[in-house]
Amino acid sequence: MNKIEDNKAWFLVLPVFAIVAFSAIVPLMTVVNYSVQDIFGPESRYFVGLEWFEMVVTDQNLREALVRQFIFSFTILAIEIPLGIAIALIMPTKGRMASVSLILIALPLLIPWNVVGTIWQVFGRTDIGLLGASLSSLGIDYNYTSNARDAWLTVVLMDVWHWTPLVALLCYSGLRSIPDAYYQAARIDRASRWAVFRHIQLPKLTNVLVIGVLLRFMDSFMIYAEPFVLTGGGPGSSTTFLSQTLVSRAIGQFDLGPAAAFSLVYFLIILLVSWVFYTTIMHMQKDQ
């Protein structure tokens, strides 16, 4: 006997669709509208087609910011993903220390982004900051305000400190979901610790790693508050990423048309790279 489908539950989802349409789709359509017009005022605008997109693609400053953004995003992924897995593996699994370690590891995630930049701004000072003063006492010439290399390394270190706990917590939850029967079989076979990680833990972490990689890539690609507060994008433009370039174009110069075109290109880049990450990881999982 065929069951009669009850679609009344879809009415419960309609408010969510309405909120998403209001908060995402409508602003997106507004950005698309601005990206093909030259706006001089509320009642003065002219259709320019793809002119702003051509300008974005050929803008040297935007290309340099894009290169810096990709280097930064792939750098922090290469550091935070392995480091998060390592932290999750050494975290206690039972008793009071497990709860304490979870609380301590999650503390950086509770700090607002602009406050993180302020913390590291003080932390890196050579007169009162723990990091800057320690390096200076060791005879290391460190100044993130005037040296591009120091500024870059400080921004990377700041992001690793702030967001590695997210990867660690995701991996920790994935490790706790592995049935104990797998470990019992590994002990019977006298498998080494590396063999257990390679053939049991890492394959079972694939799903959470997909989430971790996508979240960290998208977050890192949209980073704004932390480097803006810490270095202001300097020295020069060494730590000026795409988000800062976009804000400068939209608010500082008030070029709404080019800024709208740039934001759409920005969105498509994030969408494309995230799709590549997802499909690559899922294909790797199928091949195992």
Say if residues 155 and 73 touch (Cβ distance below 8 Å).
no
For 254-279, the pLDDT digits (tens) are 777 888 888 888 888 888 888 888 88
Q: From CA 248, how far away is CA 41, in angstroms rounded?
A: 19
Residue 140 — very low, low, confident or very high, per pLDDT cuts 50/70/90? confident
Tell me the sheet residues that pair with 41.
44
Q: Which of 40-54, 128-142, 165-179, 201-215 has the highest mean predicted lDDT (pLDDT)?
A: 165-179
Secondary structure of residue 39 in the 3-state scheme: strand
Lowest-confidence range among 11-25, 59-73, 145-159, 183-197?
11-25
DSSP state of 37: E
For 189-216, the pLDDT digits (tens) are 888 889 989 888 888 888 888 888 888 9
Say if residues 226 and 113 touch (Cβ distance below 8 Å).
yes
Say if residues 202 and 210 touch (Cβ distance below 8 Å).
no
More confident residue, 250 or 172: 172
Residue 65 has a pLDDT of 86
Residue 287 has a pLDDT of 61
Lowest-confidence range among 5-9, 14-18, 197-201, 262-266?
5-9
DSSP state of 235: S
Q: From CA 67, how far away is CA 221, in angstroms rounded?
A: 11
With a cut of 70, say whether residue 285 has pLDDT above it.
Answer: no
With a cut of 60, say whether residue 3 has pLDDT above it.
Answer: no
Tell me the percentage of the chain whose pLDDT exceeds 90.
17
With a cut of 90, say whether residue 157 has pLDDT above it.
Answer: yes
Tell me the sheet residues that pair with 44.
41
DSSP state of 118: H
More confident residue, 33 or 184: 184
Closest CA to 223 of 274, 160, 130: 160
Q: From CA 271, how far away is CA 165, in angstroms rounded?
A: 24
Q: From CA 126, how far away is CA 136, in angstroms rounded?
A: 6
Work out the end-to-end distance of the chain between its first and last CA atoms, rounded to an integer number of angstroms.
41
Residue 71 has a pLDDT of 92
Say if residues 248 and 59 touch (Cβ distance below 8 Å).
no
Q: From CA 122, how far away is CA 128, in angstroms rounded?
A: 7
With a cut of 80, say whether residue 180 has pLDDT above it.
Answer: yes
For the chain, domains (ranges, CATH) are 60-287 (1.10.3720.10)
Say if residues 115 and 202 touch (Cβ distance below 8 Å).
no
Residue 170 — very low, low, confident or very high, per pLDDT cuts 50/70/90? very high
With a cut of 70, say whether residue 1 has pLDDT above it.
Answer: no
Token pair 């400190």: residue: 161
Residue 256 has a pLDDT of 79
For the whole model, what pTM was predicted?
0.82
Lowest-confidence range among 48-57, 72-81, 157-166, 263-272?
48-57
- Give me the chain's average pLDDT, please: 85
